[in-house]
Amino acid sequence: MQQVHISNSLIGADKVDGTAIYNTAGERLGDIHDVMIDKITGRVAYAIMSFGGFLGIGEKYHPLPWNALKYDTAQGGYVVGLTKEQLEGGPTYDEGDEPAWGDRDYEKRVHDYYGMPPYWMM
């Protein structure tokens, strides 16, 4: 198995999985479950955050535009300017019921909800 070096600005995708997401008040909102990468540009489009449920049962998945997350070295996780209530009202899906990635109407609604420009327009 090849060893991957993590620098101050780069991280392997497998290391992002499970990283905590906090709001600006320092409350832990959930963890990164997965990342969605644009196959053409290679840019990370979304962090899929797991939120809610208990021991993985009833967990919901929230696609967050990647550009909404900022890494905080002090917390060792990502920070978003969202409250739990805003997150609960946002786009979500259940395991096994993934959205149609690439459906620009759906993806635009995700970006609009979080007030972020779509990744394909940046």
Give the global pTM. 0.84
Q: CATH code at 17? A: 2.30.30.240
Does residue 7 fall inside a structural domain? no
Does residue 5 fall inside a structural domain? no
Range of the domain at 95: 13-121
Does residue 1 fall inside a structural domain? no
Does residue 95 fall inside a structural domain? yes
pLDDT for the residue numbered 57: 64
Does residue 99 fall inside a structural domain? yes
pLDDT for the residue numbered 45: 94
Does residue 106 fall inside a structural domain? yes
In this prediction, the residues of the chain whose per-residue pLDDT falls under 50 are 1-6
Does residue 30 fall inside a structural domain? yes
> Coil, helix or strand for 31?
strand
Contacts by residues 17-20 (CB-CB < 8 Å, ≥ 24 positions apart): 19/76, 19/77, 19/78, 20/75, 20/76, 20/77, 20/78
Number of domains in the chain: 1
Does residue 86 fall inside a structural domain? yes
pLDDT for the residue numbered 3: 44
pLDDT for the residue numbered 54: 62
